[in-house]
Chains A and B, each alone.
Chain A
């Protein structure tokens, strides 16, 4: 089983839609979780950390389900500028520092 798995998509949605992505991770001892955004041929940029209690940043909401070992990202009121690839990142080790990335889910928002 791969360490971090995501549905690659693409998700094609109209402006204003709500869209949700899931990411599963294999190591139950994983400690930290993030969502990154990557535009075509650019570096990943941190979108938000994911906390056990769930967290929200404007139109973006992240949730963590430790029992089922998945994290989710919800985007409300999609904008054209949200079109990108969304990468799930997990620190799989208690004391290590390297983040392991999923392959990403591609979102295309159209007018």
Chain B
């Protein structure tokens, strides 16, 4: 069964450093997403991406965050200057399109720890 893959599974970084989280969405999917989950909290929407541009973003997705699809397969989330409160599990997800009942498939996540 096709799946969303994410690398690395764990990332430890120092406060103020830049990190890039990587994702390979399912190959025939067109919409890509990043969500995050702080330990013990809910899964929070960050951003959605379609046709090489951001289609929606939440209040969390401020200027320190950016997304990119650098080639035909990868989808990345960059955090420019990490803060302690950025420590969370970051999930990439994808689906086939904007149909409102379209199912969303998640990768296994990258656990980011900011020290």
A-side interface residues toward B, CB under 8 Å? 31-32, 34, 38, 41-46, 49, 87, 89, 91, 94-104
**B residues touching A (Cβ–Cβ < 8 Å)?**
31, 33, 35, 41-45, 48, 50, 55-56, 58, 89, 91, 95, 97-98, 100-109, 111
Bound complex: CA A51 to CA B109 (Å): 29
Nearest-neighbor residue (CB-CB) of B105 within chain A = A46
Q: Is A95 a contact of B45 with CB atoms below 8 Å?
A: no
B31: chain A residues within 8 A (beta carbon) = 97
B43 contacts A98, CB within 8 Å?
no
Residues A97 and B41 in contact, CB atoms below 8 Å apart: no
Whether the pair A98, B48 counts as a contact (CB closer than 8 A) is yes
5 sample A-B contacts, Cβ–Cβ < 8 Å, listed by A number: A45-B106, A49-B101, A87-B43, A97-B97, A99-B104
- A43-B108, A100-B45, A103-B41 known; A95 and B98 CB under 8 Å? yes
Is A41 touching B89 in the complex (CB atoms < 8 A)? yes
> Could you say which residues of chain B place their CB within 8 Å of the CB of A32?
100-102
Complex contacts, B106 vs chain A, CB 8 Å: 43-45
Chain B residues, Cβ within 8 Å of A89: 104
CB distance from B89 to the nearest CB of A (A): 7
Nearest CB in chain A to that of B98: its residue: A97
Is A34 a contact partner of B33 (Cβ separation < 8 A)? Answer: no
B103 to chain A, nearest CB (A): 6
> Could you tell me if B43 and A44 are in contact, using CB atoms closer than 8 angstroms?
yes
Question: A91-B100, A102-B42 in contact; A97/B95 too (CB < 8 A)?
Answer: yes
| A96 adjacent to B42 (CB under 8 Å) | no
Of B56, B95, B103, most buried by chain A (CB within 10 Å of CB) is B103
- B103: chain A residues within 8 A (beta carbon): 34, 46, 49
